[in-house]
Amino acid sequence: MIMEKLSDAGERTVGQSPVRSSPSGNRPAPPPRTGEPAPDGGLAVAARDFSFWYGKTQALDSITLDVPVRRVSALIGPSGCGKSTFLRSINRMNDLIPDTRHEGEILLDGSAVYSSGRDVVELRKRVGMVFQKSNPFPKSIYENVAYGPRVNRLVSSRGDMDALVEESLRQAALWDEVKDRLDRSALGLSGGQQQRLCIARALAVSPEVILMDEPASALDPIATQKIEELIHELKDRYTILIVTHNMQQAARVSDFTAFFFMGRLIEIGKTEEIFTNPRQEQTEAYITGRFG
Ligand SMILES: Nc1ncnc2c1ncn2[C@@H]1O[C@H](COP(=O)(O)OP(=O)(O)OP(=O)(O)O)[C@@H](O)[C@H]1O
Ligand SMILES: [Mg+2]
């Protein structure tokens, strides 16, 4: 699909030398773009001058970025540029790491994530996370999905829980593969199935935003394709923020792409524009494989 997209635009292909001439090295750098709001106008997440430190190491430097509601936004950039740190800042998973601090703010649906009155458990229910390495609990498939709704007291009867588990597994495109073995250990599933189970587990508590940190990087091409199709299905209902090192994947799954470099947001825009006509030379160098 990326190749179609790019050849439609008639400009260049990813991973190869740019077809059109390089922008002038002397051109003054324009300010980074912010993602354009979705047609329905809402921003699910907005970072405002957000900086983050691990001890004395600054990992994020004044990130200002908009994440439109019910769209897929991809974060790309070389290793160590702060992508995971940024994702973990949104649902305050970084709070669990000692000796860290931040400046600036992140807003979830307009309200400050780091305000003193914020209920972090509720925040993580609204902002779910899926990691690179699938991490099912050593429990049954059913219990993996039922755990979140149970601790959050989302359903009261066994029948309602059964229905919620089924719906979550269906949404994660896993139901047909596991419906006859819900009581078996989740650890017996394949890597790709385990990752979809982790997505089902995230969906079961009805999040608004799903953060995915390289969700398919440990998977084979077929399992990867399933995850990408799933992301496509889910974006009608959820806001998805995905980190990926795979340029083609970013181009295939996302509506907006943000390029991070050394803790800074270099550029954000519509994915097609970022991949065909980046404004910043560093973005162009990265997407054409000249560094990172
Ligand atoms: N728990 C931690 N303690 C101390 N420093 C950390 C920690 N996690 C990340 N860092 C540092 O913060 C910076 C950003 O790391 P981060 O993991 O956010 O990068 P990334 O873009 O996700 O990289 P990758 O693509 O390799 O996953 C790096 O310099 C990293 O060494
Ligand atoms: Mg990372």
Tens of pLDDT, residues 89-123: 999 999 999 999 999 999 999 999 999 999 999 99
C-beta of 60 in contact with ligand 1 (< 6 A): no
Residue nearest to atom 9 of ligand 1 (CA): 85
Residue nearest to atom 26 of ligand 1 (CA): 79
Q: What's the CA angle centered on 194, arms 192 and 200, to 5 degrees?
A: 110
Helix 158-171 and helix 191-203, axial crossing angle in degrees, nearest 10: 130
65 and 256 in contact (C-beta within 8 Å)?
no
Element (H, E) at 103: strand 100-108
CA torsion sign for 19, 22, 23, 29 is positive
Ion ligand 2 contact residues with beta carbon within 5 A = 84
The model's confidence at residue 15, banded by pLDDT at 50, 70 and 90, is very low
pLDDT band at residue 41 using 50, 70 and 90 as cut-offs: low
Ligand 1 atom 29, closest CA: 80
Number of separate helices (H) and strands (E) present in the chain: 11, 10
Would the CB of 54 count as within 6 Å of ligand 1?
A: yes
Residue 43, pLDDT > 90, answer yes
Q: Closest residue (by CA) to atom 8 of ligand 1?
A: 85
Residue 216 has pLDDT above 90, yes or no: yes
In this predicted structure, the answer to whether residue 78 has a pLDDT above a threshold of 90 is: yes
CA 24 – ligand 2 centroid, Å: 32
Angle between helices 191-203 and 221-234 (to 10 degrees): 20
CA of residue 84 to ligand 1 center, whole Å: 7
Give the ligand with the smallest distance to the CA of 259: 1
Looking at the CA of 75, name the nearest ligand: 1
Q: Which helix (H) or strand (E) holds 260?
A: strand 256-261
Distances (CA, A) of 78 to 243, 264, 290: 11, 12, 11
Nearest CA to ligand 1 atom 31: 80
pLDDT of 40: 57
pTM: 0.86
Q: Can you tell me the mean pLDDT for 131-149?
A: 95
Closest C-alpha residue for ligand 1 atom 28? 80
- DSSP β-bridge partners for residue 72: 240
Stretch 210-228: mean pLDDT: 93
Q: What is the CA(80)–ligand 1 centre distance, in A?
A: 5
Compute how many other C-beta atoms are within 10 angstroms of the C-beta atom of residue 42: 15
Q: Count Cβ neighbours within 10 Å for each residue of 86-117 and write b for 16 or more, e otherwise.
A: bbbbbbbbbeeeeebebebebbbeeeebbeee
Closest-approaching ligand to the CA atom of 260: 1
pLDDT > 60? residue 147: yes
Q: How many angstroms is it from 210 CA to the middle of ligand 1?
A: 20
Mean pLDDT over 36-51 rounds to 79
Task: Decide if 161 contacts 168 (C-beta within 8 A).
Answer: no
Q: Which of 11-25, 32-46, 167-181 has the highest mean pLDDT?
A: 167-181
- Substitution site in 51, 75, 85 for ligand 1 pocket (most atoms within 8 Å of beta carbon): 85
Mean pLDDT of the chain: 88
The whole-angstrom separation of Cα 104 and Cα 155 is 37
Which atom number of ligand 1 is nearest to the Cα of residue 82? 18
Q: Ligand 2 mean position to 77 CA, how many Å?
A: 10
Which residues are registered as beta bridge partners of 58?
A: 53
Tens of pLDDT, residue by residue over 56-75, are 999 999 999 999 999 999 99
pLDDT score recorded for residue 165 = 98
pLDDT at 17 over 80: no
User: How does pLDDT run across 161-208, given as a tens digit for each residue?
Assistant: 999 999 999 999 999 999 999 999 999 999 999 999 999 999 999 999
The answer, yes or no, to whether residue 49 has pLDDT greater than 50, is yes
Mutate to test the pocket of ligand 1, among 61, 75, 83 (most ligand atoms within 8 A of CB): 83
Strand order across the beta sheet in which 264-270 lies:
127-130, 209-213, 239-243, 72-76, 256-261, 264-270
- Ligand 1 atom nearest residue 263's Cα: 14
Between residues 144 and 2, which one has the greater pLDDT? Answer: 144
Measuring from atom 18 of ligand 1, which residue has the nearest CA?
Answer: 82
**Which pLDDT score is estimated for 6?**
35
Cβ 241 vs Cβ 83: under 8 Å: no
